[in-house]
A and B are shown apart, each in its own frame.
Chain A
């Protein structure tokens, strides 16, 4: 097994120590930081997303894998920065106004990072005005909106409406959360919906035209 394959294994199984050590080893072997991301971390997290989608693994394993990826990224970031390599795509994500739940949103966020998308996380209870402001500032290709309660679902529709009506640059909008389904996404005019964090990766890549 090559070092990159070993690193991918370490990340997908959540072995933080090995992930860090193998990242350093791969760099020492002369692998470029960009290749390390594209050929090892992204496929590793894609495999995690696939297994999550198929119900083979669950939230704990996904978070553990994300932590291992973060260890690797901590080593890589200065090198990527020095080489002037930045993710090709940017996404803004947040839980809508009135709602404090953030675990679902955090899972989508780590999986998007795993697909090498730069993610700007606005946190919870984010007003539509704040989303618009962030879109102006970061010019993302995609915005992700999350809501966990049936009572905060209406804020999804409201946020979509405000973003569309604003003078912020055009952006694709994805929504998600326990009470959401495709019918609701269509109803409020969102561009995409995903029932879980694994599918959210497929969806964002489709919206980005990246696959």
Chain B
């Protein structure tokens, strides 16, 4: 896809993209450190508008790329005001399409009929992807669901990068708010049109999302959440007039923000607990949401403990050499069959990179084949340094990538271990694991167990449950008690701070190791 980009002298290509209707994934938010915001500037004549690549930029490009006109959008700067044609690449992320259903309380149905506003919307704003669901309350039916990549991706791929963008640039908060509101508004109107419905039939839009995403939605400054004392502007559930926030929706329609627990345990997690029923369970259950952040809740009807780990970026490709999100051509699964090693890619497109589920499968395969030992040391035949799924392509995994994965999976496994300790239970006492989020949906639980992302005691208890944040938001519009239950859940969850936990460092280090050969053999049974 070729896009015309207008930029002012002194602006970077990324800044020009942020001010345009175009989007580009910029995982490190334009700090020039991740090398992922590659764009292709086609015509040599256009290149004249841009300063030549600096040494910092050239360090991250291959000589072939540099001569073809590939640039890093965050470092390529306009030296003169003008327009350049750039190829931004197809970045459509594969998002699981789920069958959602709803069961509306009779009282809520009657109220919808009486009020003349029979429709509602449930939304989950994830850092990477978002989902918008149109519900006919009167007819007790989900009409449709739309998912897209979060258009704020030009401001970084994780919450800390987004917050840093707000701190760096006074206009970024308003720009990010405009971007998300515009995107959600469009998705709402598209669905209304699809079903031949009117905006004035809407009664409410219920939104779940992490605490930063909800701040950005209403233009609240998230700066306080990125360093001590990690203070948010608000956590509680809010009921607002949606038309005041830039949505082209009638004033009668309400914007309901679900309640959060803390800066790191957001409304998406309280909604997730509501959706899985963890807060009513007898046995100890674990809700694990491995999205851009890795949040987890362990508990039952008596008590709930939650923590968050910054584990996601590795699984979404940000810190892996050839890592990428779930885009077409991403290696998503791999293993051994009758004919030896095999792999598949998303949409069967030519191999372009490795997404989270593929990373898990590849590393589990390397471990099982003995090509990587339990410390994570890669020992390939013929002294090879890179494991290439397709020997003819440069895409592969090296030792550094495995170290990044060890940090990410170690953090999650250690988080689970520390929560068990706080709850005073053994890992084996957990009766069920709800694996939420897109990554949980795509990844193979066996691979997660093989690499120790999930501790071996959880074998046989893991169930992918899809987007529980969206399902929880749906419950708040379908049940009269939904929002008050969600508020009670948020209040009941006790957060556990890993940074101040004395045992965390040792547990974390232990969890970076891979299962030993004997443990792998046990997992196979």
Cα of A103 to Cα of B400 in the assembled complex, Å: 18
A99 located at the interface, meaning its Cβ lies under 8 Å from any Cβ of chain B in the complex: yes
Which of A17-25, A26-34, A50-58, A70-78 lies at the interface with chain B?
A50-58
Q: Is the CB of B512 within 8 A of A59?
A: yes
Pairwise interchain contact B376-A179, C-beta atoms closer than 8 A: no
Within 8 Å of chain B (Cβ to Cβ): is A157? no
With A55-B403, A179-B33, A181-B33 as contacts: A106 and B505 at CB distance below 8 Å: yes
CA distance A60 to B28 in the complex (A): 27
Question: Is there a chain B Cβ closer than 8 Å to A125's Cβ?
Answer: yes
Pick from B28, B29, B499 the residue with the most CB of A within 10 Å: B499
Indicate if the CB atoms of B226 and A149 lie closer than 8 Å.
yes
Contacts of B406 in A (CB 8 A): 58-59
Which one of B33, B167, B406 has the greatest number of beta carbons of chain A within 10 Å? Answer: B33
Q: Check B508 for interface membership: any CB of A closer than 8 A.
A: yes
CB of A129 to closest CB in B, whole Å: 16
A150 touching B228, Cβ below 8 Å: no
Question: Which A residues lie within 8 Å of B161 (CB)?
Answer: 150
* Chain B residue at smallest Cβ distance from A106: B505
Instruction: Give per-residue flags for A90-108: 1 if the beta carbon is below 8 A from chain B beta carbons, else 0.
Output: 0000000111111100100
B512 proximity list for chain A (CB < 8 A): 58-60
Q: Which residues of B contact A88 (CB under 8 A)?
A: none
Per-position contact with B for A42-66: 1 when CB-CB < 8 Å, else 0? 0000000000000111111101100
How far is the CB of B54 from the nearest CB of chain A, in Å?
10
Cβ contact within 8 Å between A98 and B227: yes
Interface: A124 (CB within 8 A): yes
With an 8 A cutoff between CB atoms, is B163 at the interface? yes
A56 vs B400: C-alpha distance when bound (angstroms) = 10
**Closest residue of chain B to A62, judged by CB?**
B509
Q: Is the CB of B164 within 8 A of A58?
A: no
Is there a chain A Cβ closer than 8 Å to B399's Cβ? yes
Knowing A149-B227, A150-B31, A179-B33, the reply to whether A59 touches B509 (Cβ < 8 A) is yes
A2: Cβ under 8 A from any B Cβ:
no
Asked if A151 meets B375 with Cβ closer than 8 Å, knowing A55-B399, A55-B400, A55-B403, the reply is no
Q: Is B500 an interface residue (CB 8 A)?
A: yes
B513 CB-CB contact with A under 8 Å: yes
- Chain B residues in 8 Å Cβ range of A101: 499
Given contacts A58-B375, A179-B33, contact A103 B508 (CB under 8 A): yes
What separation, in Å, do the CA atoms of A102 and B506 have in the docked complex?
12
Q: Is the CB of A151 within 8 A of B509?
A: no
Taking the closest CB of chain A, its distance from the CB of B195, in whole angstroms, is: 43
* Assembled-state Cα–Cα distance A58/B512 (Å): 9
- Determine chain A's interface SS by DSSP, over half rule: loop
Given contacts A57-B377, A150-B160, A151-B163, contact A98 B403 (CB under 8 A): no
Cα distance A100–B500 when bound, in Å?
8
Q: Cβ of B226: which chain A residues have Cβ within 8 Å of it?
A: 149, 151-152
- A-B interface pairs (CB < 8 A), number: 63
Complex CA distance for A183 and B500, rounded to whole angstroms: 31
Which B residues are in CB contact (< 8 Å) with A150?
28-29, 31, 160-161, 164
CB A13 to nearest CB in B, in angstroms, measures 11
Which residues of B246-282 are within 8 A (CB) of A? none
In the complex, the answer to whether B499 meets A151 with C-beta atoms within 8 Å is: no
Identify which of residues 104-127 in chain A touch chain B, using a CB-to-CB cut-off of 8 Å.
Answer: 106, 124-125
Task: Check B338 for interface membership: any CB of A closer than 8 A.
Answer: no
Q: How far is the CA of A100 from the CA of B264 in the complex (A)?
A: 14
A152-B226 Cα distance, complex, nearest whole Å: 8
Q: Chain B nearest CB: distance from A61 CB in Å?
A: 6
Closest to A148 in B: B310
Contacting A at CB under 8 A, from B341-357, are none
Bound-state Cα–Cα, A179 to B30, Å:
12
Which listed residue, B227, B499, B509, touches A152 by the CB 8 Å rule?
Answer: B227
**Which B-chain residue is minimally distant from A180 (CB atoms)?**
B33
A124 to B504, CA, bound (A): 15
Shortest beta-carbon distance from A102 to chain B in Å: 7
Shortest distance from the beta carbon of B253 to any chain A beta carbon, whole Å: 35
- State in angstroms the CA–CA spacing of A103 and B506 once bound together: 10
Q: 1/0 per residue B16-41: CB within 8 Å of A?
A: 00000000000011010100000000
> Are B375 and A57 within 8 A (Cβ)?
yes
A60 and B505 contact, Cβ closer than 8 Å, known pairs A99-B227, A151-B164, A179-B31: no
B167 touches A151 (CB 8 A): yes
Q: Is B56 an interface residue (CB 8 A)?
A: yes
Contacting pair A60 B56 (CB below 8 A): no
Report the minimum CB–CB distance from B51 to chain A (whole Å).
17
Q: Would you list the 9 A-B pairs with minimal beta carbon distance, nearest first? A: A98-B227, A151-B226, A100-B499, A55-B399, A60-B509, A150-B164, A98-B228, A63-B509, A152-B227
Where the two chains meet, the residues of A that have a C-beta atom closer than 8 Å to any C-beta of B are 55-61, 63-64, 97-103, 106, 124-125, 149-152, 155, 179, 181, 183
Beyond the given A61-B375, A99-B228, A152-B226, could you list 12 further A-B residue pairs with CB under 8 A, ordered by the A residue number?
A56-B377, A58-B375, A60-B510, A63-B509, A98-B227, A100-B499, A102-B505, A149-B226, A149-B227, A150-B160, A150-B161, A179-B33
Which B positions have Cβ atoms within 8 angstroms of A? 28-29, 31, 33, 56, 160-161, 163-164, 167, 226-228, 375-377, 399-400, 403, 406-407, 499-500, 505-506, 508-510, 512-513
A-B contact pairs, 6 of them (CB 8 A): A60-B375, A60-B509, A60-B512, A100-B500, A151-B164, A151-B227
